[in-house]
Amino acid sequence: LSSPLDTNYFGREHSGIKHLFLRKYIELAAFATMGGGFRSFNYVDGFAGPWSVSDDDEYSDSSFHQAIQTILSVKKNLEARTGRTCRARFCLCERNSQRADKLKRFAAEQLQIEIYVFEGAFEDRLEDIDRVCADGFTFTFIDPTGFNLGSVKIAKFLARQNGDYLLNFMSEHINRYPSVESVNKAFGRLLADTDWKSNFERLPHYLKNEEKILFLLKNRLKELGAGRFMPDFEIMNPRRNRLQMRLVLGTSHPLGVSYFRDVQSQVSNIQTEVRDQIRNPGQDTLFIMPSLNGVGSDRAIEAAKLSILKQLNFRSPQDFSELIAPVLEDAAIRETHLKDVLCQLQQSGNVSFALVGRQRKPKKGTLIHILR
């Protein structure tokens, strides 16, 4: 029975899931942007490695290699279809000098590809990267090993770019610290706020540390202009029932949130399959049990209801299309679930909307009113 992940990921399947998500999101973003008028696509890997790879020759199980292959394949496909040339630039940054040397050797071998290698801390190379990505759509991948990074500089860089970013939020790492005091300084740097403790203490006690830090980080990034919407996806430890990390998207485009949930719905099924196979090796998975927290799960539907009522309490009526991004940011659902949830809320007397002709569900142009 074959695993949906390459054998290179044996023992670190969570990295395989991370790379799968990265590839699938980049593919959608590259098609939409290069196919929709952007002349170039810039990929920035701020913490590139190569790190813990099994393929030491070609780095096929690294984030940068997979991103490069994905973007080049979209570029080729679009060029063949439209006859227009698209440009792809790759900026790889790494602090560790031995790894940076490996990146330089790798880049020197890729004669046809525009790769720039930056040695040093990402926080210190942002202006140089800015100069390379002066035009086009920029996708940034932020995948540090821990949480000790200077996010104010990074957030300002992200705010300057026309594009999206994916941040690997190290949940397991953060939960491992028994007291937040022990990492006071590092959290202050991460949250770009020396006075973070008072906001932290105001959050509900039932939340885990990583949930509180994630909440504060998202708010801070938004305040600094690094994205309007920030949905996230949980990656589990493959062998334990424990959260390992979260992939957080930062986007200012409503479509980015829809793409994120589309990718999540595919990748979370694969994550469930991979974890099942580890638990029951050799047994065929006849059907995949939808994960408890998967896209469209009961928990996600409940979150969506709360989010819809929150948006409409703020302003009512709202067009169906205006509700999509904010609700999909809060709840792991897709647009099709949103239509069904609105119908349920109408039946329970919480909202109202008019359907015309043979229309069964709300769609773009349908005005949703809250009933008080």
- Interface pick for ligand SAM out of 47, 106, 147, 169 (rule CB under 6 A): 47
In terms of CB distance, is 138 or 366 closer to ligand SAM?
138
Q: How far is the CB of 15 from ligand SAM (least distance, A)?
A: 6
In terms of CB distance, is 188 or 290 closer to ligand SAM?
188
In terms of CB distance, is 63 or 264 closer to ligand SAM?
63
The 98-117 contact track toward ligand SAM, x by CB under 6 A, reads -x------------------
**Spatial CA neighbour of 52 closest among 108, 6, 2, 10:** 10
In terms of CB distance, is 101 or 298 closer to ligand SAM?
101
218 in contact with ligand SAM (CB under 6 A)? no
In terms of CB distance, is 3 or 96 closer to ligand SAM?
96
Window contacting ligand SAM (CB under 6 A); options: 44-52, 68-76, 307-315, 323-331: 44-52
Window contacting ligand SAM (CB under 6 A); options: 120-128, 171-179, 194-202, 311-319: 120-128
Pair of tokens at residue 313: 């309490």
For residues 27, 270, 218 and 94, what is the CA-based torsion angle, rounded to 10 degrees?
Answer: -60
Q: What is the 3-state secondary structure (H, E, C) of the chain?
A: CCCCCCHHHCCCHHHHHHHHHHHHHHHHHHHHHHCCCCCEEEEEECCCCCCCCCCCCCCCCCHHHHHHHHHHHHHHHHHHHHCCCCEEEEEEEECCHHHHHHHHHHHHHCCCCEEEEEECCHHHHHHHHHHHCCCCEEEEEECCCCCCCCHHHHHHHHHHCCEEEEEEECHHHHHCCCCHHHHHHHHHHHCCCCCHHHHHHCCCCCCCHHHHHHHHHHHHHHHCCCCCECCEEEEECCCCCCEEEEEEEEECCHHHHHHHHHHHHHHHHHHHHHHHHHHCCCCCCCCCCCCCCCCCCHHHHHHHHHHHHHHHHHCCCEEHHHHHHHHHHHCCCCHHHHHHHHHHHHHCCCEECCCCCCCCCCCCCCEEEECC
Q: How far is the CB of 267 from ligand SAM (least distance, A)?
A: 15
If phi > 0 it is left, if psi is from -120 to 50 it is alpha, else beta; for residue 163 that is left
210 in contact with ligand SAM (CB under 6 A)? no
- Interface pick for ligand SAM out of 16, 136, 144, 296 (rule CB under 6 A): 144
In terms of CB distance, is 123 or 340 closer to ligand SAM?
123
186 in contact with ligand SAM (CB under 6 A)? no
Q: How far is the CB of 76 from ligand SAM (least distance, A)?
A: 23
In terms of CB distance, is 106 or 122 closer to ligand SAM?
122
Q: How many CA atoms lie within 13 A of 177 on its CB side?
A: 17
The 300-329 contact track toward ligand SAM, x by CB under 6 A, reads ------------------------------
In terms of CB distance, is 87 or 153 closer to ligand SAM?
153
Pair of tokens at residue 137: 């759509």
Q: How far is the CB of 202 from ligand SAM (least distance, A)?
A: 30
- Interface pick for ligand SAM out of 96, 162, 237, 321 (rule CB under 6 A): 96
# chain residues binding ligand SAM, by CB under 6 A: 18
122 in contact with ligand SAM (CB under 6 A)? yes
- Interface pick for ligand SAM out of 30, 86, 91, 93 (rule CB under 6 A): 93
Q: Which residues bind ligand SAM (CB under 6 A)?
A: 47-49, 51, 62-63, 93-96, 99, 121-123, 143-145, 149
